[in-house]
Amino acid sequence: MRVLLYVTELVQAVSNGDFGRIEDILPDLACMFQGGGSNNYSSEILHFLFNLKEVWTPEFANIIRDNMLVNVSGLPGRWMGIDLNIEHLIRYLKSLFAAKGIYANWDQLGNLSASIAQLQKIKSQVTRSMQTTYQGSTHEECDASVLVWRMADKVEELQLQDLVTNLRTKLVPDLRASGHNKFELSSLATFNKKLMEMIKGKAISGGEDDTILLLPTGFGNTVLENF
């Protein structure tokens, strides 16, 4: 339940465009990813925190913070991550590119990319003029009774409303505590060796999930202590 509450807080903070709330829980999210074996996600968060706190100047760090979330529509509660926004644009470009068939080329994709904002405005104008705007579940005339009955039938099928006795349960690990423990036990020697090899021009391999990812020297004495 606590993990789900962190997820809910993250989703709401993103929707509200409040990056400060997101930054406050990034260390806990890193611990939970590490505890669950998603070490690459955890490593990305830790390196991001390390850059914010130790590498970037305060002015540049604020620029990064200000550009992490974007609100294209300008409506309250419609903020999203900058990466998700570009994914929407990529999907839109792909649909336009595919509409040209197999004879489309890179020049065509470049032209579409340069005019994507204008094409979206034209699409919105045509939608309004033809009165074919999207009607979501909050519309007055929307009838969601079919979905409600479908959920009710599924609840009855799975007997979710019945009291189950003698249920066998499995202990769920504390992801945050487990991840924090992994951080404390991780060694820096291997990372420092790879770092020196990288300075000498030798290639180094990246980390994998379900292993402990090591951090730069001095990192454990800065950000990790604030966990």
**Residues constituting the chain:** 227
- Return the closest-CA partner of residue 95 out of 72, 116, 70: 116
pLDDT tens sequence across 150-205: 999 999 898 888 887 777 777 778 888 888 888 777 633 444 565 567 668 877 66
Strand ranges, E, within the chain:
69-70, 80-81
Single pTM value for the model = 0.60
**Which residues, in sequence order, are bridge partners of residue 80?**
70
Between 19-28, 139-148, 152-161, the lowest mean confidence (pLDDT) is in: 139-148
Tell me if 212 sits within 8 A of 186, measured CB to CB.
yes
CB contact at 8 A, 124 and 131: no
**What digits encode the pLDDT tens for the residues 70-119?**
887 788 888 999 888 877 777 777 776 666 665 567 777 777 777 777 87
Secondary structure (DSSP) of 8-54: HHHHHHHHHT-HHHHHHHHHHHHHHHHHTT-HHHHHHHHHHHHIIII
Domain boundaries, the chain: 1-70+176-227, 82-131
Give residue for tokens 């799975």: 158
